Amino acid sequence: MMSTHNTVKQEDEGTKHKLEDSPNGSVEKKPHFMAENNGKQKRQIIVPACAPKIHYTPLKTGLCYDVRMRYHAKIFTSYFEYIDPHPEDPRRIYRIYKILAENGLINDPTLSGEDDIGELMLKIPVREATVEELLQVHTKEHLDFIEMTSKMNREELLKETETGDSVYFNNDSYSAAKLPCGGAIEACKAVVEGRVKNALAVIRPPGHHAEPEMAGGFCLFSNVAVAAQNILKNYPESVRRIFILDWDIHHGNGTQKAFYNDDRVLYTSLHRFELGKYYPGTIHGQYDQTGEGKGEGFNCNITWPVGGVGDAEYMLAFEQIVMPMAREYRPDLVIISSGFDAADGDTIGQCHVSPSCYSHMTHMLKSLARGNLCVALEGGYNLDAIATSALSVAKVLIGEPPEELPDPSQNPKLEAIEMIDKVIHVQSKYWKCFRRLGNSGCNFKEPVTESLITKNFPLQKAIRQEQFHQLEKEYGFVTLPIPKLELPEDTVLCSPDVFQESTIIIIVHDTPEIWAKRDVITGMVDPSTSITVDSTLDFIKWSLARKYGVLDVNIPQSLFEQDNYSAMITSQEVLLYLWDNFVKYFPSLSKVAFVGVGDSYSGIVHLLGHRDTRSAVKAIINFVGRKQLKPLVPLVDESLGDWYFKNSLVFSDRNNPCWVDNENKKPRRKFGRVLRCDSDGINNNMEERFDEATDFILDSFEEWSDSE
Ligand SMILES: [Zn+2]
C-alpha cells in the first residue's frame, strides 16, 4: 500500500482513475479516494475525473456568405465606371471569402460558396429577410420603395440613383438587399442558439446608414438593426441586452436612430465627425448624443475630430471607454458593425487601423456576453485592406490569439485624447465605471470666487498672488492697472520705474503648470506634495540682471465669474491696451523683446499684426508647447510677415501636432521661425532653449545698435 495521506501527489501510470463507488457520491464527506491500479494496488485520487465545463471550444465559427449578394451593382453609365468602379463594389465580399480560403480558415478551393467548408468554420445559409422582419425596423413606405426598384426601367433606376443620398439601384437590389439582412439574422441566431461559438457575416450591401424610413450611404436596409430587433423579439428570455459596436469610420446614423429610445441596445460608434462635415454629416453623430427617453444613456458616439487616426487612438478608446462601459452593460449578445474603412490604405476613411488592431478589438469584445459575438460587414473600400482586416478578425473568432500591434508605443493624437476625455465626461452621467475616481465630494455648482462668500477659491488666483508676493518682496514689483478690462488686479506686474527704461522685456504667460500628486483612492490632488513650476522666473531674473525693465503679464486660462471668457481674446486685448496706453509712451524706450509662454502668446502675435511696433520691437521669443501655432496676420502692411519670421524664434514641443502631422515639412513662415525642441513639456522646452533664446535677444539688440 502507498501512503494514504491525501496531499501527496501521485503519478498517473497510464490507467484511468476511477472513482470508488461512494454511497452518497459526496467528495467532501469521503476524503480518501482509492482506485484500482493494475488490479492490485489501490491508489489515491486527488482530483476526480469529470467532463470539462467549457461551453464554446468544440463549436465552429459561423460564416455567412452567398454569391447572390453580389448581384446588387451600379449600372454603368460611362466607360470610366468600368475602370474606376463604385467603391461599394460587389467584389468586396468575394475578396474576404477568398482570403479566408487562401489561409486555410475555410476549405473551398473553387471559391464557389460550398456548404461544407471544413473543420474551423460552419456555413450559415443566407436567406432573404422576410417583410415582417424588415418591418421591425423599417417603415412600410421604405420597403415599398425598395421593392419598386425591382420593376423600374433603366432610366428610372438611374434617376433614383442620382437623386438618392449616395445609393445606387438595379433590378436585383431589392432581393440582394434582403439577403444581408437575413444573413445577419441567421448569424446572430446561430450564435444565440449555441450552434456556433461566434459568427462572421460577410455581407453586402452594408446597412448602418439606412434609417427606418430611408436608404443612404450605400445602404438599403439596416442589416444589424434588423437582426438585433428580431433577436430581441424572438429570444426574450435569453437575449435582453445587445451591445452593438460600430467601428466603421462613418457614423451609423441608421442603427443609432433605430434604438435611440431603447435601453435594450447599447449602441457605440467610433467615427470621424469633423464638426458634422464628414459623412453622413448630421449633428446626430456628435458625442453629446446619448439617447432619449428609455434609451437615454444607451448611445455613445466617440467622434474623431480629425482624420489619420489609427491603432493608438482605437486602443485607447477601447480601453478607456468601450470595454468598461460594455462590461457594466452586461450584454447577452455583441454585434460588431464591422466596416473596414478605418483600415490603413482606405482612401475614403484616410485612417490607419492595422489588421492586428482589429484582431485586438475583436479579442476584447469576445470577452463579453460569454463569447456570443457576431461580426457583420459594413463599409470598407480598399479590397486588400478589407480582406486582410477581415482575416485578422476571423482568426481571433476561431480561437487564435490577437496579433502583435506593429507599433504599440505610438502616441495617440492629442485631439483624440481630448475627445476621449469629453466622451467620458458626458457618459459619466450614466455609467459608474467612469466615476470611480475623484471629485465625488466637490460641489462645482457652488460659486467659485476670490472673496469669502463661498468656500470655493480658484487655485490660479492663489498662484498669481504668490508670484506677485515674491516679485514684490525680492525686486519691488508693482501692479500696473488695466481698468478698462475686468481682470484680476495682479494681471500685469512691472519692475520699479519701468516707464523710464530704454530696454524692456515683456513676458506674457499662462498661469504656471502644477505638478500634482493625486490620492489614488479619491483622485484628489494632494496639495502637500504638489508644486507649481514657473520657468518664466528665469527670464525675469536674467532681464533684471541686465538692468532691463520687465512687464510680466499673466493671462488666466479661465475665469469662474465670466461664462463667456476667452483666454485668447483676453491676451489680445491686454496686449493692445498695454501698447496703446503705456509702452508706446515710455519716453526713452528703444528696445523691446517679447517672451510668450503657452496659449497666451497669441496676444503678442495679434499685437504685432495690428500695430507697427517695428521701431522698438527687436525680438520675439515664443514657447508654444503642444499648443496650436498662431499665424501673424499682417494688417499694417504685407512686409510684417517677413519681419516676424526674421525676428522671432517659436519653440515648439517635440510632440507638437505641427510635427506629428507632417514629419518632414517645416511650418509656414507666417507662424514665425518655428523650431522643434528635443524635450517634452513646456517647462523642459524653456530650460532646454533658455540660452538660445536669451542669446537671440542679445543679438537682436546689438544688431540694432550697430546699424544706428
Ligand atoms: Zn463607412
In what helix (H) or strand (E) does residue 419 lie, and over which residues does it extend?
A: helix 414-427
Summarised one tens digit per residue, pLDDT across range 571-592 is 999 999 999 999 999 999 999 9
Q: List active site positions.
A: 209
Range with the poorest average pLDDT among 20-24, 81-85, 170-174, 200-204: 20-24
The percentage of residues in the chain with a pLDDT greater than 70, rounded to a whole number, is: 89
Three-state DSSP class for 313? Answer: helix
User: What distance in angstroms lies between residue 305's CA and the mean position of ligand 1's atoms?
Assistant: 16
pLDDT at 151 over 60: yes
Ligand 1 centre and the CA of 433: distance in Å?
29
pLDDT tens by residue, 262-301: 999 999 999 999 988 899 988 999 999 999 999 999 999 9
pLDDT at 315 over 90: yes
Distance, CA of 689 to CA of 684 (rounded, Å): 9
Q: What is the pLDDT of residue 661?
A: 62
| Nearest one of 193, 202, 205 to 231, comparing CA atoms | 193
CA of 214 to the centre of ligand 1 (A): 17
User: How buried is residue 655: exposed, middle or buried, by Cβ count under 10 Å (0-12/13-18/19+)?
Assistant: middle
Q: Residue 435, Cβ neighbours under 10 Å: how many? A: 15
Q: Is 649 helix (H, G, I), strand (E, B) or coil?
A: strand
CA of 378 to the centre of ligand 1 (A): 7
CB 251 within 8 Å of CB 277? no
State which fold the 460-707 domain adopts: Rossmann fold (3.40.50)
* CA atoms 618, 624, 629, 630: torsion sign: negative
Ligand 1 centroid to 226 CA: how many Å?
18
Digit-coded pLDDT (tens) for 125-143: 999 999 999 999 999 999 9
Nearest in space to 122 (alpha carbons), one of 21, 201, 53: 201
Beta pairing partners, 701: none
| 411 in Cβ contact with 312 (< 8 Å) | yes
Query: CB count, 10 Å around CB of 707?
Result: 6
Say what the pLDDT of residue 149 is.
86
pLDDT in the model for residue 38: 54
Q: What is the pLDDT of residue 586?
A: 94
Q: How far is the CA of 179 from the centre of ligand 1 (A)?
A: 19
CA of 25 to the centre of ligand 1 (A): 59
**Single-letter code of the amino acid located at 18:** K
Please give the grid coordinates belonging to residue 699. Answer: 543679438
Residue 503 phi/psi, 5-degree rounding, is -125, 125
Cα(276) to centroid(ligand 1), Å: 15
DSSP 8-state symbol, 251: -
Q: How far is the CA of 430 from the centre of ligand 1 (A)?
A: 28
The answer to whether the beta carbons of residues 492 and 552 sit under 8 Å apart is yes
Instruction: Tell me, in angstroms, the distance from the centre of ligand 1 to residue 169's CA.
Output: 19
Query: 95 C-alpha to center of ligand 1: Å?
Result: 18
Confidence of residue 5 (pLDDT cuts 50, 70, 90): very low
Closest CA to 41 of 87, 78, 10: 10
SS (H, E, C) 422-483: HHHHHHCCCCHHHCCCCCCCCCCCCCECCCCCCCECCHHHHHHHHHHHHHHHHHCCEECCCC
> Does the structure show a pLDDT above 50 at 48?
yes
Q: What residue ranges in 365-438 does DSSP mark as E strands? A: 373-377
Confidence of residue 629 (pLDDT cuts 50, 70, 90): very high
Nearest-10 Cα torsion for 265, 268, 273, 275: 70
With cut-offs at 50, 70 and 90, classify the pLDDT of residue 18.
very low
- What are φ and ψ of residue 304, in 5° steps? -80, 125
Could you check whether 62-434 and 460-707 share the same CATH topology?
A: no
Amino acid code (one letter) for 532: T
Residues bordering ligand 1, an ion, CB closer than 5 Å: 248, 250, 339, 341, 379
- Contact between 393 and 338 (Cβ < 8 Å): yes
Q: What element of type H or E holds 43? A: strand 41-45
Ligand 1 geometric centre to CA of 436 (Å): 34
Distance 88 CA to ligand 1 centre (A): 10
C-alpha triplet 687, 691, 694: angle, nearest 5°: 110
* Local structure of 526: helix, strand or coil: strand
Domain chopping of the chain, boundaries: 1-52, 62-434, 460-707
C-alpha distances (whole Å) from 34 to each of 11, 17, 50, 104, 561 are: 13, 9, 16, 47, 81
pLDDT at 70: 79
**Least confident range of 1-5, 425-429, 570-574, 674-678:** 1-5
CA–centroid distance, 181 to ligand 1, in Å, is: 17
The continuous run of DSSP H or E covering 492 comes out as strand 492-494
Q: Region 604-624: what's the mean pLDDT?
A: 95
Give the pLDDT score at 446: 67
In the chain, pLDDT over 90 holds for what percent of residues? 64
Residue 585 in grid coordinates = 509712451
Provide the pLDDT confidence category of residue 664 given band limits of 50, 70 and 90: low
485-532: pLDDT as tens digits: 888 899 999 999 999 999 999 999 999 989 988 777 777 788 888 999
Q: pLDDT band at residue 704, thresholds of 50, 70 and 90?
A: very low
Question: CATH code for 62-434?
Answer: 3.40.800.20
Nearest to 503 by CA among 412, 415, 619, 606: 619
Q: How far apart are CA 696 and CA 708, in angstroms?
A: 19
pLDDT at 437: 56
Q: What average pLDDT is seen over the chain?
A: 87
Give per-residue pLDDT as tens, 372-413.
999 999 999 999 999 999 999 999 999 999 999 999 999 899
Helices (H), 517-610: 536-545, 567-581, 602-610
* Backbone φ/ψ region at 2: left (φ over 0), alpha (ψ -120 to 50), beta: beta
Q: Which residue has the cell 496639495?
A: 527
Residue in 248, 272, 562 with CA at minimum distance from that of residue 378:
248
pLDDT band at 17 (very low <50, low <70, confident <90, very high): very low
Q: How far is the CA of 377 from the centre of ligand 1 (A)?
A: 10
pLDDT at 129: 94
